[in-house]
């Protein structure tokens, strides 16, 4: 027998009668080993792909977004300070800075979210539920890098308590948990997460603050260019218009004409594709988002029907906007943005891959998934282009369609039943 399996089997009787201890044990045991239970009757289905491993596949698909998001935090920070303008200049310094900004957000999200999960699991006497594995991985990626940690904790607690546990826990919620955390910050603290200005994280690396490291001690990979004292380069903040804000005010031409302080093009096609721009931590890189989506489709985790119909819906609405620009609204800059360029700005593809495909809150029938995804694409594009206060729409569109997903499935099933009954008649 596997030594680890033997050790866990020896521990189980000792914690069986303690709710909290057994909850911790069960969570660890089901994470390390696939289920080994069968039904009590003759035939049964046994599959190693349980819910926990399904969620782990989604987390794995997000890792490229985490890597790029971490580095991009540091890159945008040093651009704000006028240092290391080259993408790979000061590589390790940028990566370290990004980690020091991202890790506290990640830790707070999981301490709060898993703490609530653990409490409810122990109180109810059941296993730790796996649903927060994905929500806990998504929430840091959809937050700006400079968001206060107390705000992240409040948003996570609200989402888990109100949008999940209040409905009965994993598999029972009707709204996407990660998006509820984002919408909480959006409505409770709109100045921190919305508007046409995207703030770049500027707090300096913590090891410089604590240890007062001098520049000559970091003479490695360009680190010797650092000023000797931290307070010589600390700034109150750095901001710049996002591609969406530029598109809303001046169209695609305004996006392409934006430049960095050193004169380089800020939002080139390459930067938009690879996510080298300010924004939420993990949703900027279109290439890595598409790679993660492909991995989930290949593993059978996410629905390609939702993704495809989402893209078709967004393209349909975008083309319609372009037609209206030519025929009725020639002075509206955002409506005139070519529909295919809409996919390069904002979080459209991230919403398609990781938010709309949530199997709990999305439609369940195959035909329903096509309708559900298409409507998100249409509504999201309409909100993005026509809403003057908030030039993005996927959060609101997905939450709106989360509510209608059961109704879509109901009418799809009813239509199938009526069609079969008509054949019998």
Predicted confidence (pLDDT) per residue in 86-142, tens digit:
888 889 889 998 998 899 999 999 999 988 888 887 777 666 666 788 899 999 999
Q: What is the pTM of this model?
A: 0.82
pLDDT exceeds cutoff 50 at 204: no
Q: Which domain holds residue 78?
A: 51-202+237-416
DSSP structure class, residue 228:
S
| CA separation for the pair 392, 245 (Å, rounded) | 9
Of 409, 408, 379, 407, the C-alpha closest to 395 is 379
Within-domain flag for 286: yes
What would the pLDDT profile of 329-360 be if each residue is shown by its tens digit? 888 888 999 999 999 998 999 999 999 999 88
410's tokens: 């109901």
Same domain, 19 and 76: no
Residues 6+ apart with CB under 8 A from 309: 369, 370, 371, 372, 373, 374, 377
Task: Note the pLDDT of residue 206.
Answer: 46
Same domain, 11 and 108: no
Within-domain flag for 121: yes
323's tokens: 């037609």
The stretch 23-49 carries a mean pLDDT of 60
pLDDT exceeds cutoff 50 at 207: no
Residues 6+ apart with CB under 8 A from 107: none
Task: Note the pLDDT of residue 383.
Answer: 92
Q: Is 319 exposed, middle or buried (0-12, 13-18, 19+ CB in 10 A)?
A: middle
Residue identified by tokens 């069960």 is: 26
Same domain, 121 and 19: no
Count of domains in the chain? Answer: 2
| CA separation for the pair 270, 290 (Å, rounded) | 15
**Average pLDDT along the chain:** 81
Same domain, 22 and 65: no
Q: Is 36 exposed, middle or buried (0-12, 13-18, 19+ CB in 10 A)?
A: exposed
Task: Note the pLDDT of residue 311.
Answer: 97
Of 237, 236, 233, the C-alpha closest to 197 is 237
Percentage of the chain with pLDDT > 70?
Answer: 76
Residues 6+ apart with CB under 8 A from 326: none
Same domain, 18 and 165: no
Within-domain flag for 217: no
Percentage of the chain with pLDDT > 90?
Answer: 40
Same domain, 13 and 160: no
DSSP for 377-409? HHHHHHHHHH-SS-S--HHHHHHHHHHHHHHHH
More confident residue, 225 or 36: 36
pLDDT exceeds cutoff 50 at 210: no
Same domain, 125 and 21: no
| CA separation for the pair 358, 185 (Å, rounded) | 21
Residues 6+ apart with CB under 8 A from 388: none
Answer whether 390's CB lies under 8 Å from 334's CB: no
DSSP structure class, residue 87:
T
Same domain, 157 and 291: yes
| CA separation for the pair 131, 145 (Å, rounded) | 24
Within-domain flag for 37: no
Same domain, 286 and 192: yes
pLDDT exceeds cutoff 90 at 411: yes
Task: Note the pLDDT of residue 197.
Answer: 54
Within-domain flag for 242: yes
pLDDT exceeds cutoff 60 at 195: no
What would the pLDDT profile of 225-266 be if each residue is shown by its tens digit? 444 433 444 444 444 578 888 888 888 999 998 887 767 788
Task: Note the pLDDT of residue 317.
Answer: 96
Same domain, 14 and 95: no
213's tokens: 């490291």
- Can you tell me whether residue 145 is helix, strand or coil? coil
Same domain, 338 and 386: yes
Residues across the chain = 425
Q: According to the per-residue pLDDT averaged within each range, which of 7-11, 56-60, 141-145, 352-356 is highest?
A: 352-356
The stretch 31-44 carries a mean pLDDT of 58
291's tokens: 């790679």
Of 260, 414, 292, 279, the C-alpha closest to 345 is 279
Give Dmax (Cα) for the chain. 87
The stretch 401-418 carries a mean pLDDT of 95
Number of other CB atoms surrounding residue 33 within 10 Å: 13
63's tokens: 């890792």
Same domain, 27 and 95: no
- Can you tell me whether residue 265 is helix, strand or coil? strand
Residue identified by tokens 């026509």 is: 386
Within-domain flag for 28: yes
159's tokens: 């989402």
Answer whether 169's CB lies under 8 Å from 129's CB: yes
Within-domain flag for 43: no
pLDDT exceeds cutoff 50 at 188: yes
Within-domain flag for 46: no
| CA separation for the pair 406, 245 (Å, rounded) | 35
């Amino acid at each position: 027998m596997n030594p680890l399996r033997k050790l866990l089997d020896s521990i189980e009787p000792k914690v069986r009668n303690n709710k909290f201890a057994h909850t911790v044990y069960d969570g660890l045991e089901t994470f390390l080993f696939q289920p080994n239970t069968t039904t009590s009757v003759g035939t049964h289905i046994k599959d190693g792909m349980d819910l926990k491993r399904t969620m782990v596949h989604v987390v794995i698909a997000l890792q490229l977004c985490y890597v790029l998001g971490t580095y991009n935090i540091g890159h945008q920070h040093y651009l704000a300070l006028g240092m290391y303008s080259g993408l790979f200049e000061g590589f390790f310094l940028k990566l370290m800075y990004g980690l020091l900004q991202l890790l506290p957000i990640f830790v707070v999200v999981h301490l709060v979210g898993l703490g609530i999960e653990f409490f409810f699991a122990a109180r109810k006497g059941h296993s730790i539920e796996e649903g927060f594995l994905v929500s806990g991985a998504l929430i840091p990626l959809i937050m700006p890098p400079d968001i206060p940690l107390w705000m992240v904790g409040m948003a996570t607690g609200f989402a888990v308590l109100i949008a999940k546990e209040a409905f009965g826990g994993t598999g029972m919620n009707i709204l996407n948990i990660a998006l509820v955390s984002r919408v909480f910050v959006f409505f409770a603290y709109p100045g921190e997460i919305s508007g046409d200005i995207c703030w770049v994280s500027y707090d300096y690396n913590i090891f410089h603050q604590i240890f007062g490291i001098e520049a000559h001690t970091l003479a490695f990979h360009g680190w010797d260019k650092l000023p000797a004292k931290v307070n010589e380069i600390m700034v109150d903040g750095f901001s710049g218009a996002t591609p969406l804000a530029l598109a809303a005010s001046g169209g695609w031409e305004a996006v392409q004409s934006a430049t960095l302080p050193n004169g380089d093009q800020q939002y080139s096609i390459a930067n938009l594709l690879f996510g080298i721009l300010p924004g939420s931590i993990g949703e900027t890189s279109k290439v890595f988002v598409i790679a993660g989506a492909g991995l989930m489709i290949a593993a059978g985790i996410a629905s390609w029907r939702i993704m495809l119909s989402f893209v078709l819906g967004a393209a349909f609405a975008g083309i319609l906007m372009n037609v209206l620009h030519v025929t009725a609204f020639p002075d509206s800059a955002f409506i005139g943005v070519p529909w295919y360029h809409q996919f390069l700005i904002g979080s459209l593809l991230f919403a398609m891959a990781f938010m709309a495909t949530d199997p709990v809150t999305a439609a369940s029938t195959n035909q329903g998934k096509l309708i559900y995804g298409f409507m998100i694409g249409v509504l999201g594009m309409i909100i993005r282009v026509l809403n003057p206060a908030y030039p993005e729409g996927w959060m609101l569109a997905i939450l709106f369609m989360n509510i209608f997903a059961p109704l879509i499935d109901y009418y799809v099933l009813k239509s199938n039943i009526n069609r079969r009954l008509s054949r019998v008649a």
